[in-house]
Amino acid sequence: MTEQLAVGKELRLVVLISGGGSNLQSFIDACANGSLEGQVAAVISNKAGVKGLDRAAAADIPNIAIDHRAFDSREDFEQNLGELIESFAPDLVVLAGFMRILTAQFVNRFLGKLINIHPSLLPAYPGLHTHQRAIDAGDKKAGATVHFVTPELDGGPSVLQAQVPVLPNDSADSLAERVLRFEHKIYPAAAQWFCEGRLRMENGLAVLDGKVLSENGVIFNESAEQ
């Protein structure tokens, strides 16, 4: 069943992080300048003391660390995490560098309103070390993809993808830096589509303006920022 969003009201976003939170910052900035018509209702990190929590505090956003190591099992952690998320009544849950694998039970709890950004041209390179893998394979292009989260790791339907060139002398770090600049554009842009009621997940597929998206999603160009 597709949950109807009350389009017109400002949607509430809960952002999950594990680290620096530069993507979180792009959401905070986009909400502040009006290009993202939503509000970051809370930021939750599975690690204490990370920069992303400071970014949230600086923007007066409730910020909470919930350390997964304090729980006996993944399920126990996720049960508590899920309740914490729901206490902020989110319309959309945004994984922004949240580096925990999520069980099907957790994903299904938020199915259709759980999105992620992954630093590869999905469906290529799910998992870790994406930039090094792209360089090792001799790929000419790398990038990042916003996708709905489904129980399959990095396997949910793609929404918006930024493609950047791999340069001859690239290291994983230099490529990551180039890709990250585009992550900051595509992630809030995709969230805005959701907030406008244009984007949803239906039968495991990403649907934008009533059309099913291709396996890469929309390929980013500057007009996607609108």
Strand partners, 115: 94, 148
User: Are 87 and 41 contacting, i.e. CB atoms less than 8 angstroms apart?
Assistant: no
Token duo for residue 21: 């939170």
User: Are 36 and 192 contacting, i.e. CB atoms less than 8 angstroms apart?
Assistant: yes
Q: Which residue of this chain has its Cβ atom nearest to ligand GAR in the complex?
A: 97
Active site residue 131: no
Q: Which of residues 60-99 bind ligand GAR (CB under 6 A)?
A: 96-97
Q: Which of residues 110-139 bind ligand GAR (CB under 6 A)?
A: 117-119
Q: Does 174 bind ligand GAR (CB under 6 A)?
A: no
- Provide the minimum distance between the beta carbon of 8 and ligand GAR in the complex, in angstroms, as a whole number: 29
Between the CA of residue 23 and those of 12, 37, 86, what are the distances in Å? 17, 16, 22
Token duo for residue 217: 């999603």
Cα 179 to its chain centre, rounded Å, is: 14
Binder among 28, 53, 180, 201 for ligand GAR (CB under 6 A): 180
- Provide the minimum distance between the beta carbon of 202 and ligand GAR in the complex, in angstroms, as a whole number: 24
Among 185, 101, 95, 203, which residue's Cα sits nearest to residue 143? 185
Q: Does 156 bind ligand GAR (CB under 6 A)?
A: no
Q: Does 175 bind ligand GAR (CB under 6 A)?
A: no
Catalytic residue among 68, 118, 131, 184: 118
Q: Does 188 bind ligand GAR (CB under 6 A)?
A: no
- Provide the minimum distance between the beta carbon of 18 and ligand GAR in the complex, in angstroms, as a whole number: 7
Alpha-carbon distance 32 to 53, whole Å?
18
Q: Which is nearer to ligand GAR, 19 or 217 (CB)?
A: 19
User: Where are the strands (E) in 7-91, listed by range?
Assistant: 11-17, 38-45, 63-65
Give contact residues for ligand GAR (rule: CB under 6 A).
17, 19-23, 52, 96-97, 117-119, 144, 180, 183
